[in-house]
Structure 1
Amino acid sequence: MSFSEKEKHFHHSGLSNSSLNWSRHLLMQRSQVTSLFGADALWRKGYTGAKVKMAIFDTGIRADHPHFRNIKERTNWTNEDTLNDNLGHGTFVAGVIAGEDAECLGFAPDTEIYAFRVFTDAQVSYTSWFLDAFNYAIAINMDVLNLSIGGPDYLDLPFVEKVWEITANNIIMVSAIGNDGPLYGTLNNPADQSDVIGVGGIDYSDHIASFSSRGMSTWEIPHGYGRVKPDVVAYGREIMGSKISTGCKQLSGTSVASPVFAGVVCLLVSIIPENRRKEILNPASMKPTISGVETIFLKTKI
């Protein structure tokens, strides 16, 4: 779940004048990543993530944080007696998704935040904590679930099977692909699973970030069927998000790219009428939708 602060490494290649102008625009506007995805156009139409239930599996969040207008529930699944985030990871992720501070806007400020504290202050977690938390997420009927975490342990079968159960219940799971690039075969679990939307990171030159993990899945070599991963990429360098108690900061990594995309998903989900949401919304329907959104976004820049 590690990511680095204020990374300054960018890759450059020969670009046309229009591409250079766009790159300059990105460099000027990158602090507000929401504008790069056209979120403000949906806000003007009244879509702000309202009545979307967003589960954030991370290090928790403070109940009175000024950047959030709709923290619906906080639960602690660790052996520590606190619901608060003392590391800043969970707060930052939540801010990218649903923060409303003018300096570090989130994508869907009216999204209902359900903060699942599954990591201790020492960044320790156990499969059993995740299994219990996943069961609760199913029981309270979450719409979207973000995991800005990952690891190589695809042999943890109880965890993998519970992820399948999550997606079978029409919960859209978005997960960071990992920060183990640039080598191939470095995908993290659960983002490498077919039912999960695995998110990689790009920089503001639209190159895959050097830290971003990439396929194929090591547990499928040499007899795998070679599915393409990550499913989607999002900006993951120098993204603005919320600090633990107040204020904003910049962070980089696929742990950042994942909530960027999870915020986009929350906006898309809020467009679907609530009474038809579970009928329409599932991982199979969301994947082609996000591919179309990314294609439109890329064409818009040219």
Structure 2
Amino acid sequence: MKNYIVLRSNVRPSLRGGMAGVLRDGATPTVTVERVDERHVAQLREEPEVQIVAPSMPTRLIVPLNAQPAAAGPSWGIAAVGADRSPFTGAGVTVAVLDTGIDAAHPAFGGVQLVQKDFSGDGDGDAFGHGTHCAGTIFGRDVGSDGNATRIGVARGIERALIGKVLGNDGSGSTDMLVNGMTWALQNKAHIISMSLGFDFPGMVTQLVDSGVPVDIATSQALEAYRDNLRIFDAVMAMMDAQGGLDTEPLVVAASGNESRREVDAQFRVAASLPAAADDVLSVAAIGRGGATLTVANFSNTMARISAPGVDITSAFPGGGLQTWSGTSMACPHVAGVAALWWEALRAEGRDPDARLVAARLSASARRNVFAPDVDPADIGDGFLTAPE
């Protein structure tokens, strides 16, 4: 028996689990996670309402780079995006972090209602530290003694966070865990969903080869699964968009990936990977400091929609301390945090924010004048992330 993600049309919500339980009667299409014997997959595909049957494929966290002890002073990204000058704190906004879990006892999360759900089977908590670091950047409180505390969080007024553990203690997961996590976040009325992870195409090839499939066949099968999972996630995003007319339409933010190698050759760039490449996902590139201007990180994947601080970012780490990491995984939570500030700012204007409106404000306020004139627009998207003032 294996897990498959199934895209159906015209399914009554009372008959199916997964996303079907989120949307009202008559909503189509519908995505579910189903455990099916391989012998019955062909039969499943023959059902009239079934559009796609995608095997669950492995996922992995986007591995952070250049781990080092925490630098003194606040994380530089806070001031770079203008969060230190913004009158908004993210109050009243619920954010979901789909990652490796969280160290709920860390002082950075004092006073925050953490609603945890484990989809990995490894239990709550964060043995890796990735989820804790990302959460700290979004909504972490200052860490340290009074008068000498380090600011790490962009949106320190967030009081409720959904922590979906969709990656296990080794940093691996699967697309069915991610779909279930996104469903859960939607059901629990997340305004923003932050995901610093990617589909593990090489990992699926390895799994198939280890099961006896020839390498060329395994590569083709993994490519087919990757394609079908992309279509599934496009459908999930379409359903979240439809949810905006019913209740809360969350803004989904995802790291673009760290596969580029500009330090070897400027042409060694890789486009944003899944799930960041799915429709309506706000994909994020990583930026570092480079003297008078900001620079695109060598590892940052291209074709992202916006860029944010992602080099030498200090945030929370399990055990109560701080850690400095680099990666698009670190850039993504900056965007989630600033999105929370914009959500609050739009409410203050008397607006009723949704994902599209917040994404439009993020895009319109993004800056390009912080980069060198010859920067490739494909590397920075709409520009550098900016908080509301």
- Per the normalisation by structure 1, the TM-score is 0.78
Task: Please tell me whether the aligned partners of residues 104 and 242 of structure 1 are also in contact (alpha carbons under 8 angstroms).
Answer: no
Letter of the structure 2 residue corresponding to residue 171 of structure 1: P
Q: What is the aligned residue count?
A: 261
1:208 aligns with 2:296: yes
Rounded to whole Å, the distance in 1 between the matches of 2:259 and 2:311 is 15
Rounded to whole Å, the distance in 2 between the matches of 1:145 and 1:179 is 20
Q: 1:78 aligns with which of 99, 120, 126?
A: 120
Rounded to whole Å, the distance in 1 between the matches of 2:73 and 2:79 is 8
CA RMSD of aligned residues (A): 2.6
Q: 1:110 aligns with which of 157, 163, 173?
A: 157
Partner of 1:290: 362
**Secondary structure in structure 2 of the residue aligned to 1:273:** helix
Which structure 1 segments of 5+ residues have no match? 8-26, 215-228
Structure (1 or 2) with the greater strand fraction: 2
Higher CA-based Rg: 2
1:198 aligns with 2:245: no
Q: 2:318 aligns with which of 244, 256, 269?
A: 244
1:5 aligns with 2:5: no
Letter of the structure 2 residue corresponding to residue 262 of structure 1: A
Partner of 2:98: 57
C-alpha spacing 1:232/1:29, structure 2 compared with 1 (3 Å): farther
Partner of 1:92: 133
**Secondary structure in structure 2 of the residue aligned to 1:272:** helix
Deviations 1:205-262 (A, max 9, x none): 2221110011xxxxxxxxxxxxxx2111111110111011211110000000101111
Letter of the structure 2 residue corresponding to residue 175 of structure 1: A
Deviations 1:256-287 (A, max 9, x none): 0101111111111122338976x43223x233
Task: Please tell me whether the aligned partners of residues 148 and 176 of structure 1 are also in contact (alpha carbons under 8 angstroms).
Answer: yes
C-alpha spacing 1:296/1:253, structure 2 compared with 1 (3 Å): closer
Deviation at 1:29, TM superposition (A): 7.4
The worse-fitting range, judged by mean Cα deviation, of 113-122 and 125-134 is: 125-134
**Secondary structure in structure 1 of the residue aligned to 2:274:** coil
Rounded to whole Å, the distance in 1 between the matches of 2:320 and 2:283 is 30
Q: 2:354 aligns with which of 276, 281, 286?
A: 281
Q: What's the % identity of the aligned pairs? A: 25
Rounded to whole Å, the distance in 2 between the matches of 1:129 and 1:274 is 36
Deviation at 1:139, TM superposition (A): 1.3
Deviation at 1:296, TM superposition (A): 8.1
Partner of 2:50: none
Partner of 2:51: none
Partner of 1:189: 274
C-alpha spacing 1:29/1:167, structure 2 compared with 1 (3 Å): farther
Task: Please tell me whether the aligned partners of residues 130 and 159 of structure 1 are also in contact (alpha carbons under 8 angstroms).
Answer: no
Written as runs of structure 1 = structure 2, the 5 A alignment for 1:110-259 is 110-111=157-158, 112-151=160-199, 153-156=226-229, 157-169=231-243, 170-182=249-261, 183-205=268-290, 206-214=294-302, 229-259=303-333
